[in-house]
Chains A and B, each alone.
Chain A
Amino acid sequence: MTDLISMVVAKYNYWIYITLMMIGLYAIIAKNNLVKKIVGMNIFQTAIILFYVSISVKKGATIPILEHGHGPDAHHVVHAVDYINPLPHVLMLTAIVVGVATLGVALALAIRVYNNYNTLEEDKILAQIREK
């Protein structure tokens, strides 16, 4: 029991990311409204970003910007344990950009769909298609 609790506490960030991701995934599959699906899609993407950011955390380390960058003691030795892992941050900057690009395209498509069918509910659109 204590093992379980310590495991839950030790990795709670990972549990939260999985929860968020499942919320997003469920919304993409099960929601009926096209814009709601897009919201779900974004939650899904940010959950993955949360996962990557969680990888980068290091106990007792600070943000990945070097102190004394320039100036008199610019060339002092830097220790890797003092700074957070910067690589996942870089990857996630890219992923956020990709997320907003996808969002823009998805919303443009949703507007096109709305212009064609005058509704955003998927079942109503399918009913309209079947009638034709």
Chain B
Amino acid sequence: MIWPIDLAILTLVVVAAISALMVKDLLGASVLFGSYSFMMCLLWSIMGAVDVAFTEASVGAGVSTVLFVAAVFRTTRRTRD
């Protein structure tokens, strides 16, 4: 494990999580959530959990994001918080 990469990804995870919740546009939030999931997946593959990382890459970063975008497309992008 290379600690600078680990540390950088850990920070990015937190940043992505906070910004997914802060951004005032639901489409942006879903895309940021996808990036959060992908960062998480990288983190897990660093920790050696290859199967979990693989699943998260396909489910969290892939299908979940598509579902979010689809739902936002069917409802509204606007939000106040």
Contacts and interface: CB of A to CB of B under 8 A. Distances in A.
A–B direct touch, CB within 8 Å, in complex?
yes
Interface of A: 12-13, 16, 19-20, 23-24, 27, 31-33, 35-36, 39-40, 42-43, 46, 49-50, 53-54, 56-57, 61-65, 84, 88-89, 92-93, 96-97, 99-100, 103-104, 107, 110-111, 114, 119-121
B52 A89 contact: yes
Given A33-B81, A103-B64, A114-B76, A20 B71 contact: no
Nearest to A37: B21
Interface of B: 10, 13-14, 17-18, 20-21, 26, 29-30, 33, 36-37, 40, 43-44, 47-52, 55-56, 59-60, 63-64, 67-68, 70-72, 74-76, 79-81
Contacts, number: 128
7 contacts: A33-B79, A43-B33, A43-B36, A46-B36, A103-B67, A110-B71, A121-B79
Contact of A97 (B14, B30, B40, B59): B59
